[in-house]
Amino acid sequence: MSDERSGADAETDPSGSPTPESAQGRFDDEISTALRALLHQLEPGARLPNERELAEELGVSRNALRDRVRLLESVGVLARRQGSGTYLEKTFNPDGLVFAMDLLVAMGQLKHSDLQSVRVGLERQAAIQAASGGSKPELIAEMRSAVEALGEKYDTPEMVREDVRFHRALIRAADNPALAFFADALRGVLERATEMGTVNWREQRIGKHLLVAVHADIIDAVEAQDPEAASHAVDEHFSLHERVVRGKFGFGA
């Protein structure tokens, strides 16, 4: 597989970012094509032929096949059940990606601030889409309930829980499973870095008021179906968030 490796090297530009000419890259081959054609015919819940049969059916090596199957397991497209076989799930679960990003953060290869920037881009887009796609009264109600609770609580884990509840409802209001996948992945990595706890919220009455206000502004914009206001409100939200995380939250101090 040393040829694959030199290929990967060639795809890395001098800035150090992975910028392949074609992002399909090393998985864009006849094995993928054959596997895609097979899975396309199966219904969710169907059991795949065992590895040896599948490799023969597709005319590929068992090792190569196993790599693809493991990859698809890691994102939830396939599920292996011990002693039973591998099943088609057709879901899309960010756990594997979160695990990998978390590791890269731990090794110093990814920065929280860079991931946070991606999160801002995704949430802004979610708010714009939620404010454009028709009203969703249940999700508006869920967001209002979360923000109300956020305003009443002072214990950090409880506040984080309400905050997460708000953002999950916002993402669901965008009605976009792809956006939900990436937003969940980012939230998964960044959750540990949430530092609402560096603020003593009981002493920061103006800060707490602002915190509730920036969330309420997002809800109002989504409810009014005003994408521009929604985009602006998300940026205000993250601007406040950044001040909180950086400890530059000195209202009334």
Q: What is the 3-state secondary structure (H, E, C) of 103-168?
A: HHHHCCCCCHHHHHHHHHHHHHHHHHHHCCCCCCHHHHHHHHHHHHHHHHCCCHHHHHHHHHHHHH
∠ Cα 121 126 129 (to 5°): 125
Q: Which of 34, 51, 100, 240 binds its own copies (CB under 8 A)?
A: 100
Encoded one letter per residue, x for contact with its own copies by CB under 8 A and - for no contact, window 115-154 reads x-xx-xxx-xxx-xx-------------------------
Q: Which of 50, 61, 109, 200 binds its own copies (CB under 8 A)?
A: 109
Residue 2 in the binding site for its own copies (CB under 8 A): yes
Q: Which of 177, 197, 247, 250 binds its own copies (CB under 8 A)?
A: 177
Q: How far is the CB of 108 from its own copies (least distance, A)?
A: 9
Structure token digits, residue 154: 């002072």
- With contacts defined by CB under 8 A, name the span among 53-61, 78-86, 206-214, 245-253 that binds its own copies: 78-86
Select 174 or 222, whichever has its Cβ closest to its own copies: 174
Q: Which of 34, 110, 212, 240 binds its own copies (CB under 8 A)?
A: 110
Q: Which of 72, 131, 150, 230 binds its own copies (CB under 8 A)?
A: 72
Structure token digits, residue 81: 């059940």
Handedness of CA 136, 138, 144, 150 (dihedral sign): negative
Name, in order, each residue with C-beta under 8 angstroms of 38's C-beta and a sequence gap of 6 or more. 54, 57, 58
Residue 249 in the binding site for its own copies (CB under 8 A): no
- With contacts defined by CB under 8 A, name the span among 104-112, 141-149, 151-159, 243-251 that binds its own copies: 104-112
Site for its own copies in 178-207 (CB under 8 A): 178-182, 184-185, 187-189, 191
Residue 210 in the binding site for its own copies (CB under 8 A): no
247 in Cβ contact with 241 (< 8 Å)? no
Residue 107 in the binding site for its own copies (CB under 8 A): yes
Residue 27 in the binding site for its own copies (CB under 8 A): yes
Structure token digits, residue 112: 């929280």
Q: How far is the CB of 4 from its own copies (least distance, A)?
A: 8
Q: How far is the CB of 99 from its own copies (least distance, A)?
A: 4
Determine the 3-state secondary structure of 173 from DSSP: helix
Structure token digits, residue 96: 């594997």
Report the distance separating Cα 228 and Cα 83, nearest Å.
53
